[in-house]
Amino acid sequence: QVQLVESGGGAVQPGGSLRLSCEVSGDSRHFYTIGWFRQAPGKEREGVSCISGSNGKQYYIESVKGRFTISRDDSRDNAKRTVYLQMNSLKPEDTAVYYCAASAVPRGTAWNSFLSYDYWGQGTQVTVSS
């Protein structure tokens, strides 16, 4: 069983930055593919970014390219791994609850489908407003 815990959300002004963290525990031997999703009120859950567990390849939706960066801590010394989503130049339309999710296999072009993931965190709120 894999557990994911997000942190780092908050309220910022437009143009500000936040770094979200997704702590992955339960199976430290396996590099899971980790995706970040977001869901705004009244909207569907949207895939934002993903980092492949097999080769570290990164994926982004068009609206966050150049502003968001996904990375991971590959330390093998700890029982937990952490994936980060650095969000810069935030816009009001980035406001949403952000979730991280894990898949035991790489998802390729299906990385942004919530159906591709087996485990989910509880979410963290990001609010961008002046």
**6-50, pLDDT tens digit by residue?**
999 999 999 999 999 999 988 766 778 999 999 999 999 999 999
Structure tokens at 129: 């407003």
Alpha-carbon radius of gyration of the chain: 14
pLDDT higher than threshold 90 for residue 122: yes
pLDDT higher than threshold 80 for residue 72: yes
Structure tokens at 32: 């899971």
Structure tokens at 85: 């989503």
Separation between Cα atoms, residue 83 and residue 95, nearest integer Å: 20
